[in-house]
Amino acid sequence: MNSSTHTMLAFTWFGVIGLMLVFYVITDGFDLGIGILSLLRKRREDHDVMVQTIGSVWDANETWLVVLGGALFGAFPDAYALLLEDLYLPIMLLIAGLIMRGAAIEFRHSVSHGPLWDKVFGVGSLVAAIAQGIVLGKVITGLMPGALSDVFVAVSAVGVVAGYSLLGSTYLVKKTAGTIEQWSRRLALLSALVTVAAAVILSAATWFVSEVGHDRWSQPGVFHLLMALGLAAALAFAFIAASLYLGSSRGPFRGAVALFVLSFAGLAISLFPDFVPGKLGIVEAASDSSTLVFMLIGIGFLLPVMIGYNLYQYYIFRGKVLTGSHAGE
């Protein structure tokens, strides 16, 4: 195949991986967010309700991460090798956090050690979210060392934790009633404010501090497109706030999802045409054309099944989780 075909295939796979990353972050994001928020509740009855909201979907949500890792390894082996070499520690922390969380959901029903496993569930979720924030920050900074990069990564970690808390709290608004719902509404607004503040700081740092980021944003049409996405994100934030104020159950979560989708669109535009800014381009990191075509055929069958299954499970388990006493009341 010629170079133009290879380039098209590489860009297609960049889009497919980006799409799978969005699916993972949104679906497992509210799982992790609920785990983080569980650290702020003391009553076991509240923990029971919070875990019950994700009990039927959390394991299926994590399959996106498994497929994402396999797709990255097959489609962009050079990027996989570079990222794993530089991000070994945060990725191991991510895996450890996910293991803690999965084990805790299964063992929290223990009569004697249930409260301990509830804490493990919350801590594992927090560790996984922080690790993902570190990975995101390091990728955006092009894996560059230095104090400024460390500050950027720290803000990124705070932003991811706040963002997942936003998804988790708005999902609880959608799925619970009573005291937990009202508590989640207050936390959703706070989480949204922190998420937006972190995004503004990271955007400013990209423009003023990152030479690679500044060059990318200065390309014709890019800055205006990012400004349009920023305006749309501001409208999504306003929608979240208005939905919370008006007492909507589903609106806040929809607004949070829109905010994340817009943020990832901005991230993809900022990275393109690099996979790791300033270090590795998308085309250079891609596998040969025959491998990309073979994988594209496979993902063409798999992706609709995964999307359909996820939509089906959310449809089957739709509605609020209610208990006899509306936990927390």
- What is the pLDDT, as a whole number, of residue 111? 63
pLDDT given at position 329: 46
From residue 291, alpha-carbon distances to 13, 75, 96, 115, 156 in Å are: 11, 7, 31, 49, 34
Pair 252, 173: CB distance under 8 Å: yes
Q: What is the C-alpha to C-alpha distance for residues 282 and 85, in angstroms, rounded to an integer?
A: 18
- What pLDDT is stored for residue 178 in this prediction? 86
- Burial profile 206-243: b = 16 or more Cβ within 10 angstroms, e = fewer: beeebebbeebbeeeeeeeebeebbebbeebbebbbeb
Q: Can you tell me the distance from the alpha carbon of 188 to that of 120, in angstroms, rounded to the nearest whole number?
A: 23
- To 10 degrees, the CA torsion angle through 192, 250, 53, 48? 70
Structure tokens at 138: 């390091």
Tell me how crowded residue 198 is: count the other CB atoms within 10 A of its CB: 21
Residue 161 contacts residue 191 (beta carbons within 8 Å): no
Q: Name residues of the chain where pLDDT drops below 70.
A: 1-2, 111, 322-329
Per-residue pLDDT, 241: 94
- What are the pLDDT digits (tens) for 69-88? 899 999 999 988 888 888 99
If 0-12 CB within 10 Å is exposed, 13-18 middle and 19+ buried, where does residue 168 land?
buried
Instruction: Give the closest residue to 108 by CA, choosing from 119, 97, 96, 124.
Output: 119
Residue 58 burial (C-beta neighbours within 10 Å; 0-12, 13-18, 19+): buried
Q: Could you tell me which of 317, 173, 199 has the C-alpha nearest to residue 254?
A: 173
274 beta partners: 281
Question: Is the CB of residue 164 less than 8 Å from the CB of residue 131?
Answer: no
pLDDT confidence of residue 121: 92
Picking from 223, 255, 226, the residue whose alpha carbon sits closest to that of residue 242 is 255
Measured between alpha carbons, how far is 108 from 85 in angstroms, rounded to an integer? 35
Count, residues in the chain: 329
